[in-house]
Structure 1
């Protein structure tokens, strides 16, 4: 039976990032997924590498600072996969957020991003407002432009996995974990691959299975407690409309949220939603479709209405966020990642939440906990200098 330091279950962006960093630190690593690399939320995101301007509203300044630092690093380490993109915020007379509020937010955003040149922003003259054909100009008082970045989330995850493999990590796909037996030294894990039952012993198991994080914990013996979570679905629509010249950051006309209108593969990508679900399996709802199309029609009144836009839907995708259970809207809930381990099961570490942008710092946090549990190894590479893609 194979024995190793780390078994990571879930080959999304966080599992990939931890596998890469752990392998570089000299640990023996296996990354296992029941499906394929980035098959879940890590390929169903808004495709953005960003600081999260809206998180400033809820006081999540450390998260924004961390994300802006991560954005700067990824632009350097993955120049073929992550590229700067212009963002635009139109402000209207009836907008919830005034021009003064937006200017203050962008000023703080710029300060937090230093020394990144992408921290600059500007209020565009009226002559530049027509660069978004069909955008409602009536009542517009300002159009702000700032910078963030865009990526192909699936390709980025695949590049991180490829780096982990090059560093010695073993990657297995289409492997369903059946049972986890925790003991005093680690975990005996049984998994099925192509109908054949396999076993592996690991001194630490890291649960990065995303929306299925608690489902995986239910297979642990002796039983382990799991925190209460909520599944919040984020859906996107790809419209057969020419790609806009940048990303529009729009206030929802229905609630307090913001929605992006983005260029993607030469077309227009619209998202995202926040819909509470009773299952980890994502599925676009009619309500989400009308929510997104309604916002688009509000800002692009000449688009022909919701019925006409429905005929322009080329495709859709939905990803699932895992948030701690709590009161209030999901919009205001923290996006800080949680790495949890029970004292009764010290060889199992489970990841809750997290963001695409900050996967590298999440991996660094996880590795600190691994080192505390297992001790250090002989470092074989510095992931802060490894190019991706």
Structure 2
């Protein structure tokens, strides 16, 4: 029977980051992914490395500060994968957020970035408003420009896994965890190859297990013996549309004309990407698919600001692709848009060698990884470090 220090279940960005961080710290690591690396939520995000300007409205200042610090780190560690990009916020006569509100938010954003070069923002003079092709100018009172970053989320996750492998981590795709026995001071993890019904169940002894299965975090906990209590969660679907429309040179941060939310209109492979929605799912079965209501919602907002196509039916002919990501939020009352976006890391006294992750953001995967490493060191002790996690370059 194989024995390792750590088994990580889930090959999304958080599982990949934890495997990389733990391997760099000298731990023997096995990462199990039931599908392919970055095959689910981590390939279907809004593809942004950002501080989360909108989180200021719900008072999540620590998360914004942390996210801005991670934006700076990733721009340095992954310059070929994470690129700065201008964002534009148009403010109209009937906008719910006034020019003063936007300016105050951007000023706080700059302050929380510790006046990083990308923390700068400016008001665009009206003579230059037309540079944003097709944007409605009627009723436009102000146009602000600030900075964040864009990435290919799948390629970034794959790069993290590639680096983890160079540090000695084992990574097995199409490997489904079938059970976890939590014993005194260690766990026995059993997995089977998904594509081979006749494959034997493999048993691995691990001093610690991290459950980073994303939307399926509680499904993994159902496989734990003795039984363990799970957190109450909701699945929130975020959908995007790709339109065969030439992209602008930056990202539009647009207030929804239907509710209190904001969406992004982004360049992606020389086309236009719109997202995201937030729909609470009653169940999680099969591959998430965009709904008709989400399509109408996103296209309706786009037409509110870019009216050249006239109506939703005409604009639908420009849709060339769609994708959906599902994220985990704590089960609460109220609008999903205002829920906390920080990661909850849960370990219980009855199962001290098992850590489960709930939620999290693409931008802050490295801080999630270092927090998991702190738990790992406290649980099974430190190892001889192989590399400095904060200096590992990604390509």
State the TM-score, normalized to the length of structure 2. Answer: 0.98
- In the TM superposition, 1:109-258 aligns within 5 A as 109-193=109-193, 194-195=196-197, 196=199, 197-258=201-262
Corresponding residue of 1:307: 313
**What is the aligned counterpart of 1:347 among 350, 353, 357?**
353
- In the TM superposition, 1:1-389 aligns within 5 A as 1-193=1-193, 194-195=196-197, 196=199, 197-281=201-285, 282-389=288-395
Question: In the TM superposition, what is the alpha-carbon distance from 1:116 to its structure 2 partner?
Answer: 1.4
Question: In the TM superposition, what is the alpha-carbon distance from 1:115 to its structure 2 partner?
Answer: 4.1
- Whether the 8 Å contact between 1:190 and 1:199 is mirrored in structure 2 is yes
Query: Cα deviations across residues 292-317 of structure 1 (Å, max 9, x unaligned)?
Result: 00000111112231001111101000
Say how many residue pairs are matched: 389
1:58 counterpart SS class? coil
1:189 counterpart SS class? strand
Structure 2: gaps of 5 or more residues: none
Which whole-Å CA distance do the structure 2 matches of 1:74 and 1:116 have between them? 13
Question: In the TM superposition, what is the alpha-carbon distance from 1:187 to its structure 2 partner?
Answer: 1.2
Which whole-Å CA distance do the structure 1 matches of 2:188 and 2:119 have between them? 48
Which whole-Å CA distance do the structure 1 matches of 2:127 and 2:376 have between them? 55
2:11 counterpart SS class? coil
Question: In the TM superposition, what is the alpha-carbon distance from 1:352 to its structure 2 partner?
Answer: 0.3
Moved segments of 4+, more than 3 Å: none
Which whole-Å CA distance do the structure 1 matches of 2:283 and 2:355 have between them? 23
2:345 counterpart SS class? strand
1:362 counterpart SS class? helix
1:69 counterpart SS class? helix
2:371 counterpart SS class? helix
- Whether the 8 Å contact between 1:134 and 1:303 is mirrored in structure 2 is no
Which whole-Å CA distance do the structure 2 matches of 1:79 and 1:115 have between them? 20
Over aligned residues, Cα RMSD in angstroms? 0.7
Question: In the TM superposition, what is the alpha-carbon distance from 1:256 to its structure 2 partner?
Answer: 0.4
Question: In the TM superposition, what is the alpha-carbon distance from 1:244 to its structure 2 partner?
Answer: 1.3
Query: Cα deviations across residues 131-175 of structure 1 (Å, max 9, x unaligned)?
Result: 122211110000000000000000000000000000000000000
Which whole-Å CA distance do the structure 1 matches of 2:54 and 2:45 have between them? 16
2:258 counterpart SS class? coil
- Whether the 8 Å contact between 1:131 and 1:245 is mirrored in structure 2 is no
Which whole-Å CA distance do the structure 2 matches of 1:191 and 1:161 have between them? 20
- Whether the 8 Å contact between 1:93 and 1:141 is mirrored in structure 2 is yes
Query: Cα deviations across residues 102-147 of structure 1 (Å, max 9, x unaligned)?
Result: 0000000011112410000000011111112221111000000000
2:57 counterpart SS class? helix
State the TM-score, normalized to the length of structure 1. Answer: 0.99
